[in-house]
Structure 1
Amino acid sequence: MEATATNIEKALGDGKLLEVVSMIRETLETVSSAPVSIAVTGDSGNGMSSFINALREIGHDEKDSAPTGVVRTTQVPTCYSSSHFPYMELWDLPGTGTGTQSLENYLEKIHFSQYDLFIIIASEQFSMNLVKLVKAIQRQGKRFYIVWTKLDRDLSTRVLPEEQVLQNIWENIQETLQKVGVCEPIIFLVSSFEPLLHDFPELRDALNRDISDIRYCGPLENLSDTCEKIINDKVTSFQEQIGSKTFQDILGIQDEDDLGQCLIAYHLFFGVDDKSLQQMAQSMGKPMEEYRAIMKSQDVHTVLTGDWALSCMNCKTASYLYSILSYIPFLGDTVINYLRVWKHRHFLEIVAKDTRSIVKKILTDSII
């Protein structure tokens, strides 16, 4: 990732969006091929292994199924795959509350931090161990589901109507977690023996969405932060040149008060000129106008229409004021130069903001 950041920095620094697109795509393709690690855990006897088999849509007696039984069967973390979730590693973890080990020891033993998402299996009751587990997961900022399994048993012994039983279970879990500050947990009520009923279909859909999100979310955030820093550094570095005697030469213009010339130069500086946008859009397989439409600096008229401060500084009254100031020795030149520097810095930031928006769209479009 460090080498990628260096290459993107050089490409953005040179205003070469086409190269940025290529590197972003290569990076996302590489990092997104890594599987998402999902841990299935809960109190011993809650049916984690049975749930895993149901999720993978295989029978308990089939080859490579997770072993199940009335006694504790999973002694060490065991990895399973599924053709239904091609980018997922499903880890069957030993149950919590086994032996005399504390939750802290349990988390250390299972290498808690290596998993991207947790599925916490519960049945009969939502124990204090599970409450602590949820809190530990939340502290790390990881995603988690609460899955109440063995629902078939709850419904077979019910006295109340089925809807009331389901509501009572759901509310009990929610209230238990709300007491310790866990708001709006994602809860699914399922039966491992009936994987087509209850919340199982919704669980599968949620899992597919989150797997896709996890695969791209981290890399996308890192790339976005990298690009944001590069653009900010570029703005800061260039702002130091504004107002200097060599500014016009650096910008490659003849008149620094001509906003049209300046806009063309700033577009070239950031690589968001029409030619660069056309090449980049073609590489992305999208029309250039889709990117140009999000720019607030499409032309001078668009800039002045959308920014009252620049519009005021460019009006006839302002021109008249500049002409008066030019006759005032020293003070007049100082004020004019101050306003000119402010105008260019403001103008620069408008184009930089457009560049950030375009890069953000490139990142988003790269994963669609």
Structure 2
Amino acid sequence: MESCVFPKEIAINMEKALGGGNLLEVVSVVRGTLKKASNAPVSIAVTGDSGNGMSSFINALRGIGHEEEDSAPTGVVRTTQIPTRYFSPHFPNVVLWDLPGTGAAIQSLENYMEEMKFSQYDLFIIIASEQFSMNLAKLAKIIQGLGKRFYVVWTKLDRDLSTSALLEERLLKNIWENIRETLQNEGVCEPNIFLVSSLEPLLHDFPKLRGTLHRDISDIRYHGPLESLSHIYEKAIKDKVTTCRGKIASKSFDTLGIWNADDLEESLMAYRSLFGVDDESLQQMAQSMGKPMEEYRAIMKSRDLYSVLREDWPLSCMNCNTVSCLYSFLRCIPLLGDFIFNSLRKWKHRRLLEIVAKDTRAILKKILTQSII
């Protein structure tokens, strides 16, 4: 996933759509991009100390028995000698990598990390049983340093429950606290911790593990594209604001679709139209998204001039009757009056522009979130 290259044509199409204030085209680009992302491959590495039951866990996660033909080999001795990949219909386009366990044959965890090519995996599952060793805590610290997601999964819980004299609730709490404290001693932020039995994949934390894994796989797939699309619309909006500010500075209001620059209501509608967040464009976009238009209007400050003035006190102050009378007085003063009046008018337009741009960002963010398949 880290090596995915965001297609240049998508960026061009997105910028073009935003530049023209065409939200319908933006929705089309976003949906097409995220649809492709939904099928992107994800690599998950299952690792841990030798003998902790990584292969058994993979079989349980895949929902198959040890005796089936394509199951991961299991045994009391180290059975996995090289990274081996497995697939599961429960996790489409996901590769589960069964890594050789860390052990005496590996000189150091750093060498293990390089040999196993940790950088190629999107998520790690650290398997533990009997005890959560310092070796595993250090392994977790290495993975955390790479900025990767990881879980700690305690397997063979069935054996622990059958041999311990403690009540189940106390035993589970002791195991969980031991893992957490060992990780904290190594400076590792607390990850997701699951206590499971590979022989009983319907009990204990196994269902919770599956659900969390599905959500994280989705996040991994969409994180890169969503981040790229966010950068694109941020840049496009920033460029558009810069262009509009230049026209405001040169008093070229007619090129912005504004004929009476002192009419804030007309100006607000013109800016909304320029950015494609006017009511007509919002209605079309909302229909395309299958959502009510009010869902998008509700997050906007620029719904109408009344809403803007109610929520933006600096602009409201500049538009009150007292200040309006002051404007009229200032215009009577040669040169200085015109300068002050024009400066204040430009300030009000820049303020309106920023409010509409901020609303546009909020709507685009909502479109991205709602477009995740």
Q: TM class by shorter-chain length?
A: over 0.9
- Counterpart in 1 of 2:265? 260
- Greater mean alpha carbon deviation, residues 39-48 or residues 146-155: 146-155
Q: Distance in 2 between matches of 1:200 and 1:81?
A: 18
Q: CA deviation at 1:269?
A: 1.0
Secondary structure, aligned partner of 1:312 = helix
- Counterpart in 2 of 1:23? 29
Unaligned runs of 5+ in 2: 1-5
Q: Distance in 1 between matches of 2:266 and 2:318?
A: 17
- Greater mean alpha carbon deviation, residues 266-275 or residues 282-291: 282-291
Matched, 1:283 2:303: no
Matched, 1:194 2:194: no
- Paired letter, 1:306: E
Q: CA deviation at 1:196?
A: 1.9
Q: Distance in 1 between matches of 2:29 and 2:109?
A: 43
- Counterpart in 2 of 1:333? 338
- Counterpart in 1 of 2:102? 96
Equivalent runs, 1:59-98 vs 2, <5 Å: 59-98=65-104
Secondary structure, aligned partner of 2:249 = coil
Which of 148, 151, 154 in structure 1 is aligned with 2:157?
151
- Counterpart in 2 of 1:211? 217
Q: Distance in 2 between matches of 1:59 and 1:74?
A: 17
- Paired letter, 1:102: S
- Counterpart in 2 of 1:225? 231
Q: CA deviation at 1:30?
A: 1.0
TM-score, length of structure 2 as denominator length: 0.94
Q: CA deviation at 1:213?
A: 2.4
- 1:100–1:36 distance in 2 versus 1, CA, 3 Å: closer
- Greater mean alpha carbon deviation, residues 315-324 or residues 101-110: 101-110
Secondary structure, aligned partner of 2:364 = helix
Residue by residue over 1:1-29, the C-alpha shift from the partner in whole angstroms, topping out at 9 and shown as x without a partner, is 22211210111011111111101111111
How many pairs were matched up? 367
- 1:302–1:49 distance in 2 versus 1, CA, 3 Å: same
- Greater mean alpha carbon deviation, residues 97-106 or residues 201-210: 97-106
User: After the TM superposition, which segments of 4 or more aligned residues of structure 1 sit over 3 Å from their partners?
Assistant: none
Matched, 1:294 2:299: yes
**Contact 2:138/2:186, CA 8 A, preserved across alignment:** no
Residue by residue over 1:36-88, the C-alpha shift from the partner in whole angstroms, topping out at 9 and shown as x without a partner, is 21111001111100111111111111011001112211122111111222242
Matched, 1:347 2:352: yes
- Counterpart in 1 of 2:3? none
Q: Distance in 2 between matches of 1:146 and 1:255?
A: 64
TM-score, length of structure 1 as denominator length: 0.95
- Greater mean alpha carbon deviation, residues 165-174 or residues 233-242: 233-242
Q: Distance in 2 between matches of 1:316 and 1:283?
A: 42
Equivalent runs, 1:126-141 vs 2, <5 Å: 126-141=132-147
Q: Distance in 1 between matches of 2:120 and 2:203?
A: 31
Q: Distance in 2 between matches of 1:281 and 1:162?
A: 52
**Contact 1:97/1:129, CA 8 A, preserved across alignment:** no
Unaligned runs of 5+ in 1: none
Q: Distance in 2 between matches of 1:283 and 1:275?
A: 13
Same amino acid, percent of matched pairs: 72
Matched, 1:362 2:367: yes
Q: Distance in 1 between matches of 2:303 and 2:76?
A: 69
Q: CA deviation at 1:98?
A: 4.7
Residue by residue over 1:197-239, the C-alpha shift from the partner in whole angstroms, topping out at 9 and shown as x without a partner, is 2221221121122222222233222212221222122212321
